[in-house]
Amino acid sequence: MDRLWPTDDAPDVDDELESVYDYPDDLRRPWVRVNFVSSLDGAVTVGGRSKGLSSRSDMRVLGLIRDQADVVLVGVGTAIVEGYRGIRRTERRLERRARFGLSEVPPIALVTRHCSLPLDSPLLTDTVVPPIVITCEAAPIGRREALAEAGADVVVAGGDEVDLHRALEALDARGLRRVACEGGPTLFGNLIEQDLVDELCLTVSPLLTSGDASRISHGPLIEHPRRMRLLSALRADDSLLLLRYGRIDE
Ligand SMILES: NC(=O)c1ccc[n+]([C@@H]2O[C@H](COP(=O)([O-])OP(=O)(O)OC[C@H]3O[C@@H](n4cnc5c(N)ncnc54)[C@H](OP(=O)(O)O)[C@@H]3O)[C@@H](O)[C@H]2O)c1
């Protein structure tokens, strides 16, 4: 066993945070990095939202993860509950992304079988770049057309269900390989089921919450749990843990 914290020579990573969260170089396929915050007892929300679990340090890393991504992938449930809008241009973001050789802001790609994003969503009305709506043929054609008319780039990936492999191929075709997935639990469960998770960034917030909140993924039990390995473990604000796990290719 190793003791990660406290250590006698714990390095201060503030100036190196960008390199801690770098994507691999020269990606030849989409790389799916998933980011969640959870309480100590495994809750993914407090009072129905993630805000009560988050903190300044968690938001700082979330911002960095967005700044390093080509696209932010999210389930429509999370986008609605968390009040998503298009990602903002800020001075810091523009500076960082120019340095990383990325577009000014990443688009948000929404996964939705039913095309249930309301047409007045700030994702459509308050955004610098159009959102990508990833759906399937079973979605009502009228909803698909209405979302396209409202400015979304609508991708049909799959027949009865959204085929997440095809969804990632569609992002790849748009040159969007650095994927930052912000959940929620349903989408994460589907990604695990399809063995599409390359990395999990998990913030463990020092809170006990009880209640009936979901955990960070749900869906059908998979036969062979995927083993991951620890890539980094940072401590912030005294008791917050920022963990990063990567897939082990077997
Ligand atoms: N703590 C955190 O870090 C964190 C992060 C994210 C979310 N959350 C919380 O999680 C809760 C939302 O959970 P959720 O499980 O409902 O979130 P979700 O996965 O974002 O949304 C579920 C909905 O998204 C669509 N969807 C997701 N995966 C799909 C797939 N593979 N194929 C087709 N459609 C798919 C479906 O919408 P349609 O019905 O339109 O088909 C589904 O009903 C919220 O309370 C949010 O605050 C917490």
What is the number of other CB atoms lying within 10 angstroms of the CB of residue 134?
A: 27
The Cα–Cα gap between 29 and 188 comes to 19
Residue found by looking up tokens 């100590």 in the block: 40
Cβ neighbours of residue 71 under 8 Å, at least 6 residues apart?
106, 107, 108, 109, 132, 171, 174, 176, 178, 179, 180
Find the 80 Cα to ligand 1 centroid distance in Å.
Answer: 9
Q: Which atom of ligand 1 is nearest to the CA of 203?
A: 3
What is the DSSP pairing of strand 199-205 with strand 240-247?
Answer: antiparallel
Q: Predicted confidence band at 6 (pLDDT cuts at 50, 70, 90)?
A: confident
CA of 129 to the centre of ligand 1 (A): 22
Nearest CA to ligand 1 atom 43: 77
Give the mean pLDDT of 72-87.
Answer: 98
pLDDT for residue 16: 86
Q: In what order do the strands lie in the sheet with 153-156?
A: 153-156, 132-135, 108-111, 71-75, 178-181, 31-39, 199-205, 240-247, 228-236
Ligand 1 residue neighbourhood (C-beta within 6 Å): 36-37, 44-45, 48-50, 53, 74-78, 81-82, 111-114, 116, 161-162, 164, 182-187, 190
The residue-averaged pLDDT of 83-102 equals 97
Q: How far is the CA of 59 from the centre of ligand 1 (A)?
A: 20
Q: Kindly report the average pLDDT of the chain as a whole number.
A: 95
Above 70 in pLDDT, residue 10?
A: no
**pTM exceeds 0.95 for this model:** yes
Closest to 187 (Cα-Cα) out of 242, 125, 115, 110? 110
Query: What atom in ligand 1 is closest to the CA of residue 36?
Result: 3
Q: Report the C-alpha gap between 189 and 218 in whole angstroms.
A: 5
3-class SS at 87?
coil
Which of 33, 113, 164, 218 is the best mutation target for the ligand 1 pocket, counting ligand atoms within 8 Å of the beta carbon and taking the most? 113
pLDDT tens, position by position, 225-250: 999 999 999 999 989 999 999 999 76
pLDDT band at 8 (very low <50, low <70, confident <90, very high): low
CA of 110 relative to ligand 1 center, distance in Å: 10
| pLDDT score of 63 more than 70 | yes
